[in-house]
Chains A and B, each alone.
Chain A
Amino acid sequence: MVFVLLVSGCSTVNPESEPSSQSEKSDELVVAIGAEPDTGFDPIKGWGRYGSPLFQSTLLKRDDDLKIVNDLATGYDISEDGKTWTVSLRNDVTFSDGKPLTAEDVKFTFDTAAASGASIDLTNLASVEIADNEVVFQLNKPQSTFVYYLITTGIVPKHAYNSSYSEHPIGSGPYQFVQWDRGQQLIVESNENYYGKKPYFHKLTFLFLNEDAAFAAAKAGSVDVAYIPSAFSNQSVTGMGLEAVKSVDNRGIAFPYVKAGGKTEEGYPIGNDVTADVAIRKAINTVINRQQLVDGILEGHGSPAYTANDGLPWWNEETVIPDHDAGAAAKILEAGGWSDSDKDGIVEKEGLKAEFTLIYPSGDVTRQSLALAAADMVQAIGIHIQVEGKSWDEIEKLMHANAILLGWGSHDPLEMFNLYSSAFGGVDYYNTGFYSNPTVDKLFEQALEARTEEESLSYWKKAQWDGQTGLSVKGDAPWAWLVNIDHLYLIKNGLSIGKQRIQPHGHGWPVTDNIESWIWKE
């Protein structure tokens, strides 16, 4: 097995690129930062949701401080009723094949995405019209989150879009496509026609290696940037430095929120009597030592998590609670009617023992470690968690009736809506515990129907905690968020990857968000 890894680690490195990456100041980079996108490089099928779309560009984008700025657009305007979004476009943009990018292409992109419905939910989009270098989006009802589609959807050329587009993408982004060897590597070159700040590096080679192989390649000096798991962070690699990037790539425990008894349409059980009790959920949140999880499991490369969106503009800072407090947790349990009357170390309430099962996906070592450590921590207050590892197929059947160790994290508050809205109860992996709170639902509605992003922020924050109730630990605590995982990159000495943003859950790709700012330092 080790042998196979070594062999694959060596064979996938492009031999021609090796001498050039050795010499400083080369304008070519070899990077091993993440998994290959299965569906190729078509924005309509989900490419570019994490990190730079490389080949395409978007109407709007976020700057390094996560502020929304213009990209293809020169500005946008939202009507008073919030239903009409008018985006005016730059007129100097051409695709990498030399043809100009027009409003026609924007309309085509959004129409195709709405029709395919694959990865972008555009059900609220009534129509797209084009005027003189302007695109007008008509919505069925106001939607403040519509702006995120303008940020994440790369514009594809109408004249060159066909069924094989995802394998030979053409766009107006900073790089153009050269070669994709499925399962091995992607080679891109800078786009001469790019209208924005031209990237310093002329040629990038992305190697699709697993984490062990990426680390081995970094050790061998054959890559300039490598994405590595925290287990390897303690080892130094000659000629490379470790860069830890903050993230909202979080891990937490999703509790079943309702009592047992229900069944989903597929017949899977819903609910759990123990975790349906708010005292249990709050006590677990209070007793867990998040900092110790960060230090012990993530080797210090992470931060405690209190919500799914720590540090983002829509985060309510009041949701941070003091944790690692067994005394306070015991008081919460006592007030909730739980006590250890039969002295077996596990608290009971009306004959119901505080026991439940926590399931983690068996292929994920970090989640396994978090689950085991969390289960050990809550033992101190008399709650017994059985830990089990299952495959995703099995988890789908069990996730509504058992606590699950899940991970999220996105640059889009819509994720909060998906995770906590009663409308998403039991939909995909979102609200697995069937959480619902009418006040929170109402605030979500207000946030979504706000006219602009700024207006919506206060509603998103209130949904987490409005002083009375909310979806955070202070309110109903349907989750016990544990940690945000820093993304770790080994960077060749002298290479600067600029100011990195708080990265979403996205397996290495988000590092390319600011690819134009990468440069060799003196």
Chain B
Amino acid sequence: MSQLAAVQQGKTRNGWNVRKRAYVSATGAGLLLVAIGIGSWLLGSAGLSVQLDNRNLPPSLAHLFGTDWLGRDMLSRTVKGLALSIQVGMLGAACSVIIAAVMGLMAATLGKTADRIITWLIDVFLSVPHLVMLILIAFVCGGGLKGVAIGIMLTHWPSLARLIRAEALQLMSAEYVLVSRKLGRSSYWVATRHLAPHLLPQLLVGFLLLFPHAVLHEAAVTFLGLGMSPHQPAIGIILSESMRYLSTGMWWLAVFPGLGLLATVRAFDKLGHYLRQLVDPRNAHL
């Protein structure tokens, strides 16, 4: 209800309907992602080299985001850090979605025992705070990019898997599925031909909502020092380093990378939000 009110309010305020706004924010988020990707590629590694003559410079035309205490260009570091975070986020979110889809479909189609086991597994994973889980997995994998990526993959699937399972169970009682089963189709056939196409919108939205979550967790784990080498440009590392220099008045070390992370995450969050409104049948009347 409140969503409806909010949407109607938005409509009257600037005359845009939800669909239009969803398209605009989708384009915005897409552009941001592409800009970061291309920017990271265009900037090369020159900005990351140590230049002891250009240390601690505040933002200027030559260094839009300033430089750090080793003379490294903060714009290069921020963009490269965001690109790295996005990669990890993409990888983590994509794998989570795949695991969630497989689990959800298996729970719905393979019978009561499989369902019970999978539900139990989901409950177990949800009962442990997943930041703790993530730290544990990253630690066991020996840190580094690999550890963080695997950690995110293995910790972010349960809530989506539960959703997919519920949707799939609902679909299992649809008439065409019942007919298909009576005709002797295998569970695999039913899962791939009848259930999966219906679940695609949910998976897509799940992916977009998981993505910012994964990026934030990547930044958090790296911030805590379990991620990559401290000199690699990752947003979490850059932010945790900047803490040290805040008291010396070097605000640009924290502000720009922080805003970059905020903008990226917010863009994807918005995108996922509007996309859900567009593809969710319950919102079709909007």
Verify that A and B bind, or say they do not.
yes
- Residues of chain A whose beta carbon lies under 8 Å from any beta carbon of chain B: 1-2, 212, 215-216, 231-232, 234-235, 292-293, 295-297, 362-363, 365, 368-369, 371-373, 376, 387-391, 394
Select from chain A the residue with minimum beta-carbon distance to B228: A389
> A2-B246, A232-B248, A235-B248 known; A372 and B50 CB under 8 Å?
yes
* A2 B248 Cβ-Cβ under 8 A: no
* B248 A231 Cβ-Cβ under 8 A: yes
The residues of A that contact B241 with a CB separation of less than 8 Å are 365
How near does chain A come to B118, taking the closest CB pair, in angstroms?
37
* B52 A295 Cβ-Cβ under 8 A: yes
Question: B130 an interface residue at 8 Å Cβ cutoff?
Answer: no
Encode B142-171 as 1/0 by CB contact (under 8 A) with A.
110000000000000000000000000000
Encode B230-248 as 1/0 by CB contact (under 8 A) with A.
1100000000010111111
The residues of A that contact B49 with a CB separation of less than 8 Å are 376
- Residues of chain B whose beta carbon lies under 8 Å from any beta carbon of chain A: 49-50, 52-53, 55, 69-71, 142-143, 225, 229-231, 241, 243-249
* B50 A2 Cβ-Cβ under 8 A: no
- 12 example contacts (A-B, Cβ-Cβ < 8 A) are as follows A1-B243, A2-B246, A231-B69, A232-B247, A232-B248, A293-B52, A295-B52, A296-B53, A297-B70, A362-B225, A369-B70, A390-B229
* A363 B229 Cβ-Cβ under 8 A: no
Tell me, in angstroms, the Cα distance from A389 to B226 when the chains sit together: 11
How near does chain B come to A268, taking the closest CB pair, in angstroms?
15
Question: Which of A295, A296, A362, A373 is within 8 Å of B230, CB to CB?
Answer: A362
> A292-B52, A373-B50, A376-B50 known; A365 and B229 CB under 8 Å?
no
Tell me, in angstroms, the Cα distance from A389 to B52 when the chains sit together: 20
Select from chain A the residue with minimum beta-carbon distance to B240: A1
Q: A235-B248, A387-B229 are known contacts; what are 16 more A-B pairs with Cβ within 8 Å?
A: A2-B246, A231-B244, A231-B248, A296-B53, A296-B55, A296-B70, A297-B70, A362-B230, A368-B231, A369-B69, A371-B231, A372-B70, A372-B231, A373-B50, A376-B50, A394-B142
* A388 B247 Cβ-Cβ under 8 A: no
Select from chain A the residue with minimum beta-carbon distance to B143: A391
The residues of A that contact B231 with a CB separation of less than 8 Å are 368, 371-372, 387, 389
How near does chain A come to B142, taking the closest CB pair, in angstroms?
8
* A231 B245 Cβ-Cβ under 8 A: yes
* A389 B50 Cβ-Cβ under 8 A: no
Question: Which of B52, B225, B246 is within 8 Å of A296, CB to CB?
Answer: B52
Max count, chain A CB within 10 A of own CB: residue among B50, B69, B243: B50
The residues of A that contact B70 with a CB separation of less than 8 Å are 296-297, 369, 372-373
Which are the 4 A-B pairs with shortest beta-carbon distances? A296-B52, A389-B229, A376-B50, A389-B230
The residues of A that contact B245 with a CB separation of less than 8 Å are 231
* A215 B247 Cβ-Cβ under 8 A: yes
Tell me, in angstroms, the Cα distance from A2 to B245 when the chains sit together: 11
How near does chain A come to B77, taking the closest CB pair, in angstroms?
12
How near does chain A come to B75, taking the closest CB pair, in angstroms?
18
The residues of B that contact A1 with a CB separation of less than 8 Å are 243
Select from chain A the residue with minimum beta-carbon distance to B249: A235
The residues of B that contact A296 with a CB separation of less than 8 Å are 52-53, 55, 70-71
How near does chain B come to A209, taking the closest CB pair, in angstroms?
14
How near does chain B come to A388, taking the closest CB pair, in angstroms?
5
* A2 B52 Cβ-Cβ under 8 A: no
Max count, chain A CB within 10 A of own CB: residue among B55, B245, B247, B248: B247
Select from chain B the residue with minimum beta-carbon distance to A1: B243
The residues of B that contact A216 with a CB separation of less than 8 Å are 247
* B248 A234 Cβ-Cβ under 8 A: yes
Tell me, in angstroms, the Cα distance from A505 to B69 when the chains sit together: 24
The residues of B that contact A373 with a CB separation of less than 8 Å are 50, 52, 70
How near does chain B come to A187, taking the closest CB pair, in angstroms?
28
* A388 B229 Cβ-Cβ under 8 A: yes
Tell me, in angstroms, the Cα distance from A368 to B196 when the chains sit together: 49
Select from chain B the residue with minimum beta-carbon distance to A369: B70
* B229 A362 Cβ-Cβ under 8 A: yes
Select from chain A the residue with minimum beta-carbon distance to B229: A389
Max count, chain B CB within 10 A of own CB: residue among A215, A216, A362: A362
Tell me, in angstroms, the Cα distance from A2 to B241 when the chains sit together: 13
How near does chain A come to B256, taking the closest CB pair, in angstroms?
18
